[in-house]
Structure 1
Amino acid sequence: MSGTARDRGRPRGFDADAVLDRAVEVFWRRGYEGASLSDLTEAMGINRPSMYAAYGNKEQLFRAAIARYAAVDMAYAGEALRQETGFAVIATFLHTNADALTRADRPPGCLSIQGGLATGSAGVAEFLAASRLAGEQALAERLRRAVAEGDLPAGTDPAGLARYVMVVSEGNAVHAAAGADRASLHRTVDIALRAVPGG
């Protein structure tokens, strides 16, 4: 809600990024539905009026947490898109994703998957689906360029290949949340890469 009338002239007495990082962890561990306002405000170290003033309601806080998660915990995705070849883009994305899903200092799995697997909020489910689709479309666009440059074989379906990569990534996220270790996720990636042209 940055820039709205209600938070202009009301300075925040907290580090917004640090507070959001704590909200990210609560949503990640408990999911959108499982994270109560009490859980969130206690972890964030702020009271409810401060939370409402800074972020609006719970759904708006969740959207802010997802944006923070994308910028910090998923920064590897942007780095993968900058690789020189289409195969390197995919391999880098899937391997760094496997690492991210199993970081010792973060909950296992993926916030965008765990956050909404069992949500009863249509708005949250649609938001998460749109967020995942945006990532898939960015990957498809990069693969489209790889086909145009002759880096991937003519006839490669960039959209279909991007969907395949995301299915592998999202499947690994579910398994990581269930306790699969990093090595097993990387083995899955290695098998999946055999189907990627240009490898």
Structure 2
Amino acid sequence: MAERGRPRCFDREAALYKAMDVFWRNGYEGASLAQLTEAMGINSPSLYATFGSKEDLYKEAVEQYDANEGAEINASLSADTDIRTALYNVMRITAEYFSDPDKPAGCMVLLSALNCTPENASVAQHMCDLRKRSTNLLRQRLLRAQQSGEIAASANIEQLTAFMTSVRQGMSIQARDGADRDVLMGIANATLIAWDALCSAPPTSA
């Protein structure tokens, strides 16, 4: 049987979505070239000619993921709403996206390159930078809420940022382990209860 080449009517975006799904399910190192080419419907030379290296393909797939899956969360943080509503929307969207039965469970950015061998350190660092960027968006939103008086001046924004980030990361792992939407929404609701307590409690020393 002849090896798959690049189809005459090759759909680059569709192929990228297929690659994204493979990386999302298997992680960067767990996704083999055979799995990628099979899912994308092309052979290895065509993959390299179109997307560059496996790392280049992965980074582009992550950009596609972030543009799609991250857009609504980013919009919630940027929306002209009170901070509690913004955070509730972030947690609700997180629960819905991470448990979508039509997609791999959890977050691709959080799960697909946590543990990489030294030769793939640049991939791990790239993903770390993306996670830090997401954390900074949340931090900036909390700072704006503090400046507008929605959050007490005595509140520790770094602690609040770390708390909310840790919960979302934990929800991703819970989803990958099989937690359904109801479970994740329970976590989201409990987080908002904890948020109210944290914002009303006196500041603690670092």
Q: TM-score, normalised by structure 2?
A: 0.85
In structure 1, the residue corresponding to 2:194 is in which secondary structure? coil
- Three-state SS of the structure 2 residue aligned to 1:194 is helix
- Identical residues among aligned pairs (%): 35
Q: Is the 8 A contact 2:23 2:112 kept in 1?
A: yes
Deviation at 1:28, TM superposition (A): 0.9
Number of residues paired by the alignment? 188
Partner of residue 71 from structure 1, selected from 52, 60, 67: 67
Alignment partner for residue 92 of structure 1, among 82, 89, 94? 89
Residue 61 (structure 1) aligns with:
57
TM-superposition CA deviations, 1:41-90 (whole Å, max 9, x none):
11011222221122211111111011000011222211211331111221
Match of 1:171 in 2: 170
Using the TM superposition, name which of 24-33 and 83-92 deviates more. Answer: 83-92
Moved over 6 A (4+): none
Structure 2: give runs of 5+ residues left out of the alignment: 1-7, 201-206
Q: RMSD in angstroms over aligned alpha carbons?
A: 1.7
1:1-199 superposed matches below 5 A: 13-83=9-79, 84-120=81-117, 121-197=120-196
Larger Rg: 2
Shift of 1:160: 2.4
- How far has the Cα of 1:152 moved from its partner? 1.7
Aligned partners of 2:13, 2:68: CA distance in 1, in Å? 10
How high is the TM-score relative to the length of structure 1?
A: 0.88
Query: What runs of 5+ residues in structure 1 fail to find an aligned partner?
Result: 1-11
Query: 1:9 is matched with which residue?
Result: none
